[in-house]
Chains A and B, each alone.
Chain A
Amino acid sequence: MSLKVDGLSVVRGGKHLLRNVSFEARSGEVIAVLGANGAGKSTMLKTLCGEIRSSEGEISFDGKGIDSWKIDELSKIRGVLPQSFSLNFPFRVREVTLLGRTPHVVFSESRRDHKIVADALKMVEAAVLAERSYPTLSGGERQRVQLARVLAQIWEKPLCGSRYLLLDEPTSSLDLAHQHLTLQTARKFARADTVVITVLHDLNLAAQYADRILVLRDGKRFAFGEPKEILTPETIKESFGIEVYVTDHARIDNVPLIVPVGRDLENEVALSVSA
């Protein structure tokens, strides 16, 4: 089972936000989406989760087109972690996480739903926060609680087909340890028959945890493949406009390590600082 994107284009206000993007993400793998600001990463994720309608092209989950899915059926197998988040109402962390079970609940939450919520909070190391009021949490804590909510949503394997986990910059507010915890968790889910697609900014996190990497540039698919072949100085220079050198990770096999050199600003008049 897989997530298939075929010839996807999104046009808004006469501008192509995405242009003819195709790729396939298989159950069991983590796909990292990389690209400079405005390259179309978030647009693509939003199109995959149905927030933005595509202008052209096909998206299918389990071989079934996104428009043929009923929203309540799809919500049982597809979890989406948005990039930013505001919730001003005094919900407890446990209640927020329990909202992830919404698609599965008939009358009221069962003991199993509560157990899943407890487990999901444990998984993101937020179990101690369970009875805290959500608005009092720090940015990183909120992000982990939201992750727990999304994990609780797709906690159980569906009877047939796979699960889909779409993450938009899931590590943006997290400390180093929790960045790795989050991606390790994503990977664990992937290995249990889940398609994970995550937008990332940190190339080294992508190198370490992604099975394959999709690089977008100006709304187009610029490169797609395994980290080793994608994360080269040339590709990074062309897609991000920054000089890097790439070496092998000394402790982990087959993982490239990217070290930025910096940008050459001497010749860019617009960026010079007047003395």
Chain B
Amino acid sequence: MRETALTQTRNIDEDAKRPVLPAIRFLTFRGEFFGKRNIILAGLFAFVCAIVLVGIGDGAVAVSPLQIVSIIAGKLGIDIGISYELRQESVLWAIRLPRVLLGLLVGASLAVSGTLLQGLFRNPLAEPNLLGISSGAALFAVGSIVLGERIAYGIFFEYKVFALPVAAFIGGIATIMIVYKVGRRRGSVDTATVLLAGIALNALAGAGIGLLTYLADDAQLRNITFWLLGSLGGATWKSLAVITPLIVLPLLLLKDLSRKMNALLLGDAEANHLGIDVDKLKRRIVFIVALTVGASVSLTGIIGFVGLVVPHLLRLTIGADHRNLLPASVLLGAGLLIGADWISRTLVAPAEMPIGVITAAIGSPFFLWLLLRKRNES
């Protein structure tokens, strides 16, 4: 019986080759349109839509969801007949919309990077901040605030808009490369070493930022404080135009990556035996993380715990399959960050609390709970 199963699978399962177009399979996940995956993703998508409407609509100047639609349609030259005030239009267009879009991009970047790094290091505790990527990026961003204008003053009129993302990107990729190289031993990544190297580089970046703070003048100090506390307040259409491609293009690579990420969790050698070019895969992960986190940090400063909490929360509910995990991370990360930003600017209105405070205040207890739960399991 087993002997035939072994040799004749080809024939037995001929009926499985039903003429379903690959493209349809691709879109509907094994042809199950109402599968668990799609329901969860649809739920998360609805959550993001709702939180976007809240994030755009709520605040000192309230805008109803219908007015939001009407204003955006109005900008596109379509009149759908719902009235709004000019004040609402300008607040929405100049402040809230770019801010929410930035939250969307940054939240997605941080959550996806956390998921990717946890997979890369096969360690559920990895996240961009623990590995020093964010502080490395922030060090370079701060460096460009303090030193950059002296060096490049007058060369580019719009220098800052482009220099900061570039500097932060270089800082991010340099840090993750160092951490990765230090932790790599005979072809395998030693996770304890990696995390320790991350701590060391965090401290080093902290020292560098401290030194730069000492050198900075008052205006620069204000800017530095803004980086280190984290805020979505710096969103403008211009800065969005710079970072959108830096974040969206790498995220498009995810679709192709998720199955390979699953295999990578088995181990480097095992993934290789499954036909995956592991070094190439790792380089791509590092590339995506450095680019998206570098770009995010450059505009928002350090925002903690999104990259740690989101992947964990999702693994608990939908399992470890990256084909579900990565798209869900994009959605939940975006939704949570927009939500945290909404709290940060309404909680103590008209003042604004740094968003890093909100995410850490929610994230730290969650992290502790996670540790306790893990301890009780074993």
Which residues of B from 15 to 33 have beta carbons under 8 Å from A? Answer: 16-17, 22, 25-26, 29-30
Q: Specify which of A74, A86, A110, A115 is in contact with B275 (CB 8 Å cutoff).
A: A74
Q: B85 near A: Cβ within 8 Å?
A: no
For B275, list chain A residues within 8 Å (CB).
71-76, 102-103
A78-B273, A110-B17 known; A91-B321 Cβ under 8 A: yes
Residue of B nearest to A123 (CB): B2
Contact B276 A102 (CB under 8 A): yes
Residue of B nearest to A119 (CB): B5
A102-B275, A112-B13 known; A86-B267 Cβ under 8 A: yes
- Chain B binding site: helix, strand, loop or mixed by DSSP? helix
Residue of A nearest to B6 (CB): A192
A188 to B1, CA, bound (A): 12
Residue of B nearest to A79 (CB): B273
Q: Specify which of B3, B9, B262 is in contact with A115 (CB 8 Å cutoff).
A: B9
Residue of A nearest to B2 (CB): A123
Q: Specify which of A50, A90, A92, A96 is in contact with B272 (CB 8 Å cutoff).
A: A50
For A195, list chain B residues within 8 Å (CB).
none
Contact A91 B273 (CB under 8 A): no
For B319, list chain A residues within 8 Å (CB).
90-92, 95
Q: A80 near B: Cβ within 8 Å?
A: yes
A272 to B199, CA, bound (A): 48
Contact mask for chain A residues 20-59; partner B; CB cutoff 8 A; 1 contact, 0 none: 0000000000000000000000000010011100000000
For B263, list chain A residues within 8 Å (CB).
99, 102
Q: A226 near B: Cβ within 8 Å?
A: no
For A111, list chain B residues within 8 Å (CB).
13, 16
Q: B265 near A: Cβ within 8 Å?
A: yes
**Could you say which of A151-159, A197-205, A207-215, A244-252 contacts chain B?**
A151-159
Contact A82 B267 (CB under 8 A): yes
Contact A95 B267 (CB under 8 A): no
A88-B122, A107-B22, A110-B17 known; A153-B274 Cβ under 8 A: yes
Contact B10 A49 (CB under 8 A): no
Q: A61 near B: Cβ within 8 Å?
A: no
Which residues of B from 267 to 283 have beta carbons under 8 Å from A? Answer: 267, 269-270, 272-277
User: Which of B13, B29, B273 has its CB near the most chain A CB atoms (within 10 A)?
Assistant: B273
For B277, list chain A residues within 8 Å (CB).
71
For A123, list chain B residues within 8 Å (CB).
2, 5
Q: A219 near B: Cβ within 8 Å?
A: no
Residue of A nearest to B278 (CB): A71
Q: A109 near B: Cβ within 8 Å?
A: yes
Q: Name the distance in Å between A239's Cβ and chain B's nearest Cβ.
A: 27
For B266, list chain A residues within 8 Å (CB).
85, 87, 96, 99
A170 to B242, CA, bound (A): 54
For A271, list chain B residues within 8 Å (CB).
none
Q: Name the distance in Å between B17's Cβ and chain A's nearest Cβ.
A: 7
Contact mask for chain B residues 282-325; partner A; CB cutoff 8 A; 1 contact, 0 none: 00000000000000000000000000000000011001110000
For A76, list chain B residues within 8 Å (CB).
275
For B269, list chain A residues within 8 Å (CB).
46, 49, 51, 80, 82
A111 to B32, CA, bound (A): 12
A105 to B10, CA, bound (A): 15
Residue of A nearest to B269 (CB): A51
Contact mask for chain A residues 138-167; partner B; CB cutoff 8 A; 1 contact, 0 none: 000000000000000101110000000000
Contact A100 B9 (CB under 8 A): no
Q: Specify which of A71, A88, A102, A116 is in contact with B259 (CB 8 Å cutoff).
A: A102
Which residues of B from 247 to 268 have beta carbons under 8 Å from A? Answer: 259, 262-263, 265-267
Residue of B nearest to A113 (CB): B16
User: Which of B122, B123, B274, B321 has its CB near the most chain A CB atoms (within 10 A)?
Assistant: B274
A252 to B183, CA, bound (A): 52
Contact mask for chain B residues 162-206; partner A; CB cutoff 8 A; 1 contact, 0 none: 000000000000000000000000000000000000000000000
Contact B2 A188 (CB under 8 A): yes
Q: A274 near B: Cβ within 8 Å?
A: no
For B276, list chain A residues within 8 Å (CB).
71-72, 75, 102
Q: A261 near B: Cβ within 8 Å?
A: no
Contact A100 B124 (CB under 8 A): no
A107 to B21, CA, bound (A): 11
Q: Specify which of A75, A86, A155 is in contact with B273 (CB 8 Å cutoff).
A: A75
Contact B9 A71 (CB under 8 A): no
Contact A82 B270 (CB under 8 A): yes
Q: A108 near B: Cβ within 8 Å?
A: yes
Residue of A nearest to B320 (CB): A89
For A103, list chain B residues within 8 Å (CB).
274-275
A85 to B268, CA, bound (A): 11
Residue of A nearest to B268 (CB): A51
Q: B83 near A: Cβ within 8 Å?
A: no
Q: Specify which of B6, B17, B272 is in contact with A112 (CB 8 Å cutoff).
A: B17
Q: Name the distance in Å between A189's Cβ and chain B's nearest Cβ.
A: 7
Q: B376 near A: Cβ within 8 Å?
A: no
Contact A99 B262 (CB under 8 A): yes
A100 to B316, CA, bound (A): 24
A72 to B276, CA, bound (A): 7
Contact A90 B7 (CB under 8 A): no
Contact mask for chain B residues 42-68; partner A; CB cutoff 8 A; 1 contact, 0 none: 000000000000000000000000000
For B316, list chain A residues within 8 Å (CB).
90
The 5 closest A-B pairs by CB, nearest first: A75-B275, A111-B16, A72-B275, A89-B320, A103-B275
Knowing that A46-B269, A87-B265, A89-B122 touch, tell me 4 more A-B residue pairs with CB under 8 angstroms. Answer: A89-B320, A90-B315, A91-B262, A91-B320
> 11 A-B contacts, Cβ less than 8 Å apart?
A71-B275, A71-B276, A73-B275, A89-B122, A89-B265, A91-B262, A99-B266, A107-B25, A115-B16, A119-B5, A119-B9
